A and B are shown apart, each in its own frame.
Chain A
Amino acid sequence: MSGDLAISHSAGRPRHQARNLLPAFVRDQLYPLGGLGLLFVVWWFGGWLIANNDDLSAFADFAPGPTFVALVDLISSGDMTDSILSSLYRVGTGLIWGFAIGVPIGILIGYLTIAMRVANVPFQFLRMISPLAWMPIAVLAFETWDSAIIFLIVMATVWPIMFSTSHGVKRIDPDWFKVARNLGASSTQMVRTIILPAIMADVMAGVRLAVGVAWVVLVPAEYLGVTSGLGYAINDARDTLAYDTLAAIVLIIGVIGYILDSACARLVNRFNWHQET
């Protein structure tokens, strides 16, 4: 898993003369808005096709029009607030555990070659198992559905955080330790002033990947057992044939996921000291 994917992106800015007439912040948003517009057109066209097909017309509520009506309804009634909060709670708790387990192990396997050699194959093996595959075991092992779901999130988040952390540790210049020891650093000062700032950008890149996977895994995990959360809400909407609500929830999931990812990207930048070339 490579952590620097997230680190070395650069903002592609349109450089055409004509566009210089527009203010910079508008110019920056031209391409993203264009992409979003394109997605909307595809959605609208799909809705139009469905509406004009007699076999599928029962699903016409998936189109943008009914969806946005349902979305306004969901937001104004506040029905979604509880679902969103319980989903965020599960992702957050899972992420905290993933961080608490992934970072120390990542430091260990990044620092000790022997630990890496011992752990690499089992960890790569475990990493490739879909977190959802743990579902039956999680249900058996945990008393509550909530804990079972959080366990699945941990299984999704621990790997990217662990591997990014070890990648960060490996990138530490050994001379930094020599210099710091020479300047009289104690062990705690070494950890706080040298090691943590050195690996923080990579750890955060791992967190960003982890948030992405966690958010994706969460919804199917919530199909099972629990009676709250966005996954449950989607399932519920399907069972009641409320396709407009279903599409609106999909929209909400996408927007929250995007916000979470942007927040993580900001964190990565905040801690990133690798010079962009």
Chain B
Amino acid sequence: MNLFFGPINARLIAQEGENSVSGSISVDYVSHQFSKTADAVLVDINLNVKAGELVSLIGRSGCGKSTLLHIISGLLMPASGCVRIDGKTVTRPSAKWNMMFQKASLFPWMSVRQNVGLGLKFARVSKKQISERTDELLELVGLTDKAQDNIQSLSGGQQQRVALARSLATSPTVLLLDEPFSALDTFTRSALQQDVAAICKTKGITLVLVTHDIDEAVLMSDRVFVMDQNPGRVIDEIPVDLGWPRKHMDQDFQRIRKKLLLAFKGTEKTEPPRALDGGRHGVESSAA
């Protein structure tokens, strides 16, 4: 098993560091319910994410954070409101904004290589280019020696690395992560958290991470949106003004962690939902 921290290849990232300026997301008045008679899952969600910014959505299970991520990805259409990526309304999934799930969901009849190159195959990229790009990404995630392996022989962490490589292969501007590390052991999780944050930072990929793990949110994001349930809504927004890479032991880390914990605790109360201020939780707002 791959235990060393951060097998990312700095040289490769630097080579490719195209620091894209695209990948800004704006979520406008998104509300959702799964059927007309069902309770609302999400109510009037407004948020803006700058290109290349790393944000987290945290909240308890059932607050609709995963639903919101599916809506951003285009896998799910909101009942009302809209999502724009780089100013264009999202109407369907695209390989330019890629989602990673809790399960790696690799295709077991394909080798590691074939899994990584799949998005490019769908895009009808030439075999030679797919092969080169796959080599690059396998080196990036530290799995070059596993290229021909059956994915069922890989550990959970290695499978998520393959899924990460598969998501990155199509050079997405946005990476959407739906608790992709929650099924992994502590060491593997920690290594992947560092790597994904580093890759996104260096390549200028916008990251939206859904998690219920406060440490993960502080570790991986520039800004954290706190969500509450019944109905799902954003109740707070906390900037994480720490440098990279981040360490749990740092005082500043603990300070922000505490702040987030307080906001998170606020969601425990079962009082009726307070009125929304209608203001946008976005770049211009200045949460304390």
Contacts and interface: CB of A to CB of B under 8 A. Distances in A.
B198 interface: no
Contacts of A189: 122
Contacts of B122: 180, 183-186, 189, 193
A267 to B, nearest CB: 14
A180 B93 CA distance: 10
Contacts of A133: none
B143 interface: no
Contacts of A185: 122
Interface string A105-124: 00000000000000000000
Contacts of A266: none
A183 B98 contact: yes
Contact of A193 (B95, B118, B166, B170): B118
Interface residues of A, number: 21
Contacts of A180: 118, 122
Nearest to A198: B109
Nearest to A196: B109
A107 to B, nearest CB: 17
Interface in B82-138: 92-95, 98-99, 101, 103, 105, 107-110, 118-119, 121-123
Contacts, number: 60
A175 B73 CA distance: 14
B147 interface: no
A55 interface: no
B94 A178 contact: no
Contact of B105 (A173, A186, A193, A198): A173
B75 interface: yes
Most buried by B among A178, A194, A197: A178
B20 interface: no
Contacts of A176: 105, 107
A275 B152 contact: yes
Contacts of B109: 197-198, 271, 273
A17 B284 CA distance: 77
What is the interface residue range for chain B against chain A? 20 to 34
A18 interface: no
B176 to A, nearest CB: 9
B67 to A, nearest CB: 13
B166 A175 contact: no
Nearest to A173: B105
A182 B97 CA distance: 8
B98 to A, nearest CB: 6
B172 to A, nearest CB: 10
B99 A182 contact: yes
A147 B26 CA distance: 64
Most buried by B among A181, A183, A198, A275: A183
Contacts of A275: 108, 150, 152
Contacts of B152: 275
Interface string A186-202: 10010001100110000
In order of increasing CB-CB distance, the 8 nearest A-B pairs are A183-B119, A273-B109, A175-B105, A184-B95, A275-B152, A182-B93, A184-B122, A197-B109
Given A198-B107, A275-B108, 5 more contacts: A179-B105, A182-B73, A183-B98, A197-B107, A275-B150
21 contacts: A173-B103, A173-B105, A175-B105, A176-B105, A179-B101, A180-B118, A180-B122, A181-B75, A182-B94, A182-B95, A182-B98, A182-B99, A183-B98, A183-B119, A193-B118, A193-B121, A193-B122, A197-B110, A198-B107, A274-B108, A275-B108
